[in-house]
Chain A
Amino acid sequence: MKPLTSSSAAALLLATQALMLSADTVDDYAPGRSGEALKNTLARHCRPTTLTDESAVHDCLLDALGRSGKVYDMISGLRLRGDAVSSAVTGTVPSDWERVSPEYQAAIARDLHNLLLTDPVIALDRQSLPFAITGLGAGIPGAATGISFNDIDCIEPVDSLKGDIARKIFYAATLYPCELWSGWGRNVFENTPYPTLRSSWGDLYMKWHRNDPVSESEKRLDATFSTLQGNSNPFVTHPALAEYLWGDNAGEIYLPGSLPDNPGETPPTEPTPQEQRLPLRAVYRHSDRYIYLYSPYIPENATWTVDGNAVTTDTVDIATLSDGTHELRYRTTSSSGKLLILIKP
């Protein structure tokens, strides 16, 4: 037996990833999933494709902030003092929290979505303290020593950046869930694939996330990072995801558009069937109204049958199907497949 060569392994990985590169990865893969499965889906499909060299992350951050409009301290919110070139880089989740997992430790130190550009004094004060409430009030960053959240030392960012930092922590908890957290990370995270964030810390960061919704400048910065390393922070592009993992909708099945992107925003108007095109999933209810004959795993030009009957449209009205199991089949010139779905009342 020939061993798996690196080129063939690469080809196989390419095949697994070929279908991932779609317009909206989250909306293609996450709908219909909940809890740990939802988190794992994000972890798998929202990873960076290339990471910046560690020696270049500072310049990348500086350049990205410049391109997004303002070079500011990402903890205090103040304009960086003096020469921004001498600013420091710190991890929202410091890499030494991931000491037990060398692969994640190396990656998280180079992942721009996890990194913060800050004043060297703040970075020194912070070391690897977790972000929380110091009790000194908002906007006094770096004054954390001896002040506690859950009886541990911490650092508090300015109010206007708390949401940004919470979403970076959600990102790190999702993409780099260490099996055994080190240092202060042990206080913030638990050694589980889900929820990973300890409940009191999850509650705190959800509060930050809700009170400081995604801003236009945060979106611009995310887009710049996406250009540089090939992925967005899904909690910036789809803020409602956090509610399904750690918030009020935790454990519920994620359906895009069912919640407003940001708290306080007007709930979305009911979309048309075309706007609401959701990928195939295992279970439907009559309230779902339509089955969309679409999946990121299946070519777009497929022809379909449902229970052996040809379907000529790209949707099936659920009202035309009885409760119970139904078989969907598709075919193209080079592929074929089948799936059993369940329709519940």
Chain B
Amino acid sequence: MKHRLSPITAAVLLCLVSCSRDKTMYDDPDTLNPDGGHHSSMPSYTFEPELSDDRCRFVSPDIELYYDNGGILFCRDQEDGRTVYRAVDLQTGSEVLFSMPAGAIKGPVISPELAIDGKVVALSSATVERIEKSGVWIDILTPDNKHSVLVVSGL
């Protein structure tokens, strides 16, 4: 037996799908401007895939340092009540330094600081997405809405 959608049913379904998509976009805080409008071209971002990857790394739009590639020194220092994570490419001298208060827990970081190659980078936020004895996974957001990932594990 053949099933055929009537033109009216098809129009109603299309309308429902269309309404549903609008609603989803409107509810996603990642796609909202500060004034409540939409970022029309900004894709939503999820840190989820990073959590299942425990490689030491710093990945930003401008620089990628992976421990597994070799020649990248990853270290953690406790200095004046802060924890400082450092990643240095010994071959090129590229250096990333991220600092946050010692004893940070999962959630937003208070007064995070990031410097790349000696230059301080302005930050919108930094969030500890996962922290345990073996390491820390941090989502770093810059004012231009670009995310960087810092994972320091196995130290």
Contacts and interface: CB of A to CB of B under 8 A. Distances in A.
A8 interface: yes
B7 interface: no
Contact of B91 (A12, A13, A33, A338): A33
A190 B67 CA distance: 35
A334 B79 CA distance: 8
Of the listed residues A29, A281, A298, A339, the one surrounded by the most CB atoms of chain B closer than 10 A to its CB is A339
Given A9-B120, A15-B97, A44-B93, A281 B71 contact: yes
Interface in A315-344: 325, 330, 334-342
Contact of B90 (A3, A11, A281): A281
Of the listed residues A17, A330, A335, the one surrounded by the most CB atoms of chain B closer than 10 A to its CB is A335
A341 B84 CA distance: 23
Contacts of B72: 339-340
A282 B88 CA distance: 11
Given A12-B99, A15-B79, A44-B117, 8 more contacts: A11-B113, A15-B97, A16-B95, A33-B91, A338-B155, A339-B71, A339-B74, A340-B67
Given A281-B91, A335-B78, A338-B67, A1 B125 contact: yes
B68 to A, nearest CB: 7
Interface class of chain A by DSSP: mixed
A340 B88 CA distance: 12
Contacts of B107: none
A143 interface: no
B93 A4 contact: no
B125 A8 contact: no
B10 interface: no
17 contacts: A4-B123, A8-B113, A9-B120, A11-B113, A12-B113, A13-B118, A37-B91, A37-B93, A41-B93, A44-B117, A282-B70, A297-B88, A298-B73, A336-B75, A338-B75, A339-B73, A341-B70
B90 A17 contact: no
Nearest to B95: A16
Contacts of A157: none
Contacts of B67: 338, 340
